[in-house]
Amino acid sequence: MPRFTRNFIDKVIDNADTIGIVSRYTKLTKRGSRYFGLCPFPDHNEKTPSFTVASDKPLFYCFGCGKKGSILDFIMQINSMSFTEAVEYLAKEENLTPEYENDSGNGRPRGYSSKNTLYEINRQSANFYYRCLLKNKEALSYLYNRGIKESAIKTFGLGYSPSDNSLYKFLVQKGFKREDIIASSLARSNERGVYDYFRDRIMCPIQDVTGHVVGFGGRVMRKGQEPKYLNSPETPVFIKNSTLYNLNRAKGFISGQPLIMVEGYMDVIALFDRGVKNVCATLGTALGENHAKLIKRFTNDVILCYDGDAAGRNAALSKSSILENNGLSVKVLVLPDEHDPDSYIREYGKEKWDEAVKTAVYTTDFRIGQLLRTYDVSDINQKSEFLTKAAEAVTEVKDEVKWDYYTRILAEASGADVETVRNRIYETARRVQTETQRYPDRTVRGNEAERTENTVQPADKKALELLGFIMADRNNYEQFISKGGTAELFEKDTLDLYLAIEELYKENTFDISKKLIYNNKVTQTAAAADAYADSFDSGELGERIKTLTKTRLNSHLQTIKGRLDSLNGNGTEEEAELLTEYARIKKMLLGLSTEV
């Protein structure tokens, strides 16, 4: 991939409207020199604003979930973009022309392939594979034997990849450059030359939502060949976590209908060709937030349909939480154990499929059904455990009106008294609320109640406040030095940030917050330091230096004590040295305590 010049990235950061960009994702309110809003990240649902940005620095920080970084980090995380994509996004916002290292003189870096070139390579390759399929009897027989008819072959542009590297030769004859073909990931090179990435496979062209061919999925035809499925590697036009197979066709059929999500290409092809048009699949990658955002452009209703075995049910359960956390209404369709969507519709047809779809249940009902498979409610201990787990699933539904419905469902399923079940649900809700109040920096996500914490320890907070003060202005840094401040006050991440700040001031850098993006760990710590800076009173500078000195010395003292304990009074030279160092530090701490 081409690399932007450092000067260009600096220019992008300098021109970025941090407040304006972040305001698109959450409403910001000014408090002093900072702006606050509800955290915009979907895995942190909060009621009290803890997300903050400053008007004069390209940094963000959430006091709740702990997410932090530069405006580039924000764009990357909120939109699931790469670093390069985030830079391109901001550059486009600011009408800046990209500047690349090793520029070839025509505005393109050496080795750069335009998206239009990659789209055309993929289109020509899809046509090539299709023509190869029509000539290959074995590949056609394989498809026919799987119930894939000519209509489906044409609709999906299915093809066959020969094993003789003929695609590369074809593309060269079409006038494409070697480096562009390799950039498309349809060919690779080694010391022996260039060779085709896909060989001897049934080929499924992958299109983005606008209909461009962006990649391919290849399936083997014979048992024993590995891997069974092979997808194109990611390219500038093929981003797997932002692409769904067949959504370009399905989007025209989901008005008033849910989007049915299945596991594989063959499931999609079998369903679509038999009249189930509102169907798509992921591309060999985990279902994620970007997929959810893509789906929400066309519908809020999703039905997950995976294989009927235990693995399929568990997959549906895990993926439903991701979609629900992004505001989608999700149902789960469970097929009989021996079937996947492909085999089911081939055996029973569309009418039976439509009947099965009507049996899809909301995620909470599905979870309760899974729990009933696990627990024997005729056993009193298992019944109690079942009600506890089921109550946790119910309380994840934020609409309390629905709790009454699930109270009756659980009472009937378990044989327990309705009032007993209702009490269990509300006890669970109170427990979760108490935990939330006790640990406000924690968030609960999904059916596993997985928690994330922003655990900033008091000593770390004091160091961050001081670093925020130093980072804000060169005069602050000089005051810190004049009062005896040194790098020894910090450790680990805070030490890395201090050393970066010190180096930038030595280079006479004016606004150092815009120069910290080249070391992600340092940028993250800088974002936290900037957020905590408002808590620091410059009149406390001397006292803060003393406090951090004590903290560092006490930490060192504990390390020595631990080592001495392990030596167990063996009278060695090492023990004598440690005792001397222990006494020296104790004396220093005593001196700090007696200072006026």
Count Cα atoms within 13 angstroms, Cβ side, for 123. Answer: 11
Angstrom distance (rounded) from CA 188 to CA 197: 6
Contact 26, 35 (CB under 8 A): no
Angstrom distance (rounded) from CA 400 to CA 398: 6
What pTM was computed for the model? 0.56
Kindly state the tokens that stand for 584: 């020296």
Which residues lie below 8 Å from residue 211, measured CB to CB, with a gap of 6+? 248
Q: What is the pLDDT of residues 478-489, one digit of tens each?
A: 999 998 888 888
Q: What average pLDDT does the segment 65-75 reach?
A: 90
Count Cα atoms within 13 angstroms, Cβ side, for 243. Answer: 26
Domains and CATH numbers, the chain: 6-93 (3.90.580.10), 115-238 (3.90.980.10), 247-359 (3.40.1360.10), 366-450 (no CATH), 456-596 (1.10.860.10)
Crossing angle for the helix pair 458-472 and 520-532, to the nearest 10 degrees: 90
Q: What average pLDDT does the segment 393-409 reach?
A: 82
Crossing angle for the helix pair 137-145 and 115-135, to the nearest 10 degrees: 90
Instruction: Write the single-letter amino acid at 375.
Output: Y
Binning pLDDT at 50, 70 and 90, where does residue 202 land?
A: very high
What secondary structure does DSSP assign to 113-129, as a single string? --HHHHHHHHHHHHHHH
Of 7-11, 408-412, 514-518, the least confident: 514-518
Q: What is the pLDDT of residues 14-56, one digit of tens each?
A: 888 899 999 988 899 988 878 999 998 876 778 889 999 987 8
Kindly state the tokens that stand for 286: 């985990």
Instruction: Write the single-letter amino acid at 352.
Output: K
Q: What average pLDDT does the segment 457-480 reach?
A: 87
Residue 243: count of CB within 10 angstroms of its CB: 24
Of the two residues 174 and 310, the one the predictor is more confident about is: 174
Kindly state the tokens that stand for 223: 């048992």
**What rounded mean pLDDT belongs to the chain?**
84
What is the model's pLDDT at position 106? 47
Phi, psi of 417 (to 5 degrees): -65, 140
Per-residue pLDDT for 122 more than 60?
A: yes
Per-residue pLDDT for 5 more than 90?
A: no
Q: What average pLDDT does the segment 572-592 reach?
A: 79
Residue 429's closest CA among 397, 401, 459, 457? 397
Of the two residues 2 and 15, the one the predictor is more confident about is: 15
Which residues lie below 8 Å from residue 290, measured CB to CB, with a gap of 6+? 79, 80, 241, 242
Angstrom distance (rounded) from CA 456 to CA 437: 17
Q: What is the pLDDT of residues 437-464, one digit of tens each?
A: 444 443 333 333 333 345 567 768 889 9
Q: What is the pLDDT of residues 509-558, one digit of tens each?
A: 766 766 776 667 788 899 999 998 888 888 888 888 888 888 888 877 88
Q: Give burial (CB, 10 Å; 0-12/13-18/19+) of 531.
A: buried
Q: How far is CA 201 from CA 212, 223, 564, in A?
A: 21, 12, 66
Angstrom distance (rounded) from CA 78 to CA 236: 19
Task: Looking at mean pLDDT, say which of 213-217, 532-536, 550-554, 586-590 comes out highest.
Answer: 213-217
Angstrom distance (rounded) from CA 495 to CA 489: 8
Contact 327, 407 (CB under 8 A): no
Q: Give burial (CB, 10 Å; 0-12/13-18/19+) of 392.
A: buried
Angstrom distance (rounded) from CA 214 to CA 205: 8
Per-residue pLDDT for 308 more than 80?
A: no
Of the two residues 255 and 541, the one the predictor is more confident about is: 541
Binning pLDDT at 50, 70 and 90, where does residue 316 land?
A: low
Of 222-236, 242-256, 508-522, the least confident: 508-522
Q: What is the pLDDT of residues 131-142, one digit of tens each?
A: 999 999 999 999
Q: Give burial (CB, 10 Å; 0-12/13-18/19+) of 123.
A: middle
Angstrom distance (rounded) from CA 303 to CA 331: 5
Angstrom distance (rounded) from CA 128 to CA 123: 9
Angstrom distance (rounded) from CA 521 to CA 492: 10
Per-residue pLDDT for 261 more than 90?
A: yes
Binning pLDDT at 50, 70 and 90, where does residue 311 land?
A: low
Q: What average pLDDT does the segment 243-248 reach?
A: 94
What is the model's pLDDT at position 175? 95
Angstrom distance (rounded) from CA 168 to CA 331: 44
The secondary element (H helix, E strand) that includes residue 411 is: helix 401-414
What secondary structure does DSSP assign to 4-33, as a single string? B-HHHHHHHHHH--HHHHHTTTS--EEETT
Per-residue pLDDT for 310 more than 80?
A: no
Of 73-82, 193-202, 462-471, the least confident: 73-82
Per-residue pLDDT for 71 more than 70?
A: yes
Residue 27: count of CB within 10 angstroms of its CB: 12
Residue 321: count of CB within 10 angstroms of its CB: 19
Of 9-13, 149-153, 248-252, 411-415, the least confident: 9-13
Positive/negative CA dihedral, 216, 220, 225, 227: positive
Can you tell me whether residue 306 is helix, strand or coil? strand
Per-residue pLDDT for 567 more than 90?
A: no
Which residues lie below 8 Å from residue 339, measured CB to CB, with a gap of 6+? 307, 308, 347
**Residues linked to residue 120 through DSSP beta bridges, in sequence order:** none
> Residue by residue, what is the 3-state secondary structure of 362-402?
EHHHHHHHHHHHHCCCCCHHHHHHHHHHHHHHHHCCCCCHH
Of the two residues 251 and 115, the one the predictor is more confident about is: 251
Of the two residues 163 and 535, the one the predictor is more confident about is: 163
Binning pLDDT at 50, 70 and 90, where does residue 201 land?
A: very high
Per-residue pLDDT for 103 more than 60?
A: no
Of the two residues 287 and 51, the one the predictor is more confident about is: 51
Angstrom distance (rounded) from CA 71 to CA 499: 22
Per-residue pLDDT for 8 more than 70?
A: yes
What is the model's pLDDT at position 444? 35
Phi, psi of 53 (to 5 degrees): -135, 160
What is the model's pLDDT at position 518? 67
Q: What average pLDDT does the segment 301-311 reach?
A: 76
Of the two residues 89 and 432, the one the predictor is more confident about is: 89
Angstrom distance (rounded) from CA 186 to CA 232: 7
What is the model's pLDDT at position 452? 37
Angstrom distance (rounded) from CA 369 to CA 405: 15
Contact 396, 390 (CB under 8 A): no
> Can you state the percent helix, strand and coil of the chain, rounding each to 5?
55, 15, 35
Contact 61, 528 (CB under 8 A): yes
Per cent of the chain over pLDDT 90 is 35
Q: The tokens 């055996």 sit on which residue?
A: 347
